[in-house]
C-alpha cells in the first residue's frame, strides 16, 4: 500500500494540475490527508462508491499521462545519473576535485541535488 501511495503522490506532483479540481481534492484528501472514503463522501455528499470511482479514475488518468509522457521515469533516471556523476567526482583525489572545472561541476551537481530535496 505504501508503494501505491508513493507512486500516486509522485504522479500527482507531476500531473496533478491536469486533473479536474474535484479529482485533485479527492486525491489530496485520500492520499495526503489520509481521509477515508467515507469522510470524503460526507464532504461531497456522495456515496463511498462515488468517491472510489473518482479516485480510481484519477489514478488511471495519472498513470495514462505517465505512460504517454514518461516525465516521472525520466526524472528518476536523471536523478540517478546526477547521483552517479556526483559520486564519481567525489571519488577523485582531493587535488583533482579542486581543479576549477571539476569544482564547478561538483557545485552545479550539488545545487541540483539540493533543489530536488527542497521540492
Confidence (pTM): 0.79
Average confidence score pLDDT of the chain: 92
| Domain positions in the chain | 2-69, 73-118
In angstroms, the CA 79 to CA 10 distance is 14
100 vs 22, more confident: 22
Burial class of residue 90, CB neighbours in 10 A (0-12, 13-18, 19+): exposed
Q: Which three cell numbers stand for residue 35?
A: 481521509
- Residue 38: pLDDT band by 50, 70, 90 thresholds? very high
Was domain 2-69 assigned CATH 3.10.450.50? Answer: no
Residue identified by cell 485520500 is 30
Amino acid at each position: 500500500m505504501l508503494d501505491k501511495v508513493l507512486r500516486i503522490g509522485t504522479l500527482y506532483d507531476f500531473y496533478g494540475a491536469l486533473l479536474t479540481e474535484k479529482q485533485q481534492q479527492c486525491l489530496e484528501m485520500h492520499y495526503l490527508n489520509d481521509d477515508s472514503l467515507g469522510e470524503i463522501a460526507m464532504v461531497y455528499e456522495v456515496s463511498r462508491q462515488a468517491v472510489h470511482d473518482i479516485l480510481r479514475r484519477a489514478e488511471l488518468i495519472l498513470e495514462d499521462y505517465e505512460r504517454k509522457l514518461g516525465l516521472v521515469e525520466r526524472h528518476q533516471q536523471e536523478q540517478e545519473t546526477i547521483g552517479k556523476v556526483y559520486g564519481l567526482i567525489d571519488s577523485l583525489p582531493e587535488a583533482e576535485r579542486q581543479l576549477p572545472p571539476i569544482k564547478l561541476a561538483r557545485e552545479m551537481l550539488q545545487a541540483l541535488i539540493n533543489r530536488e530535496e527542497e521540492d
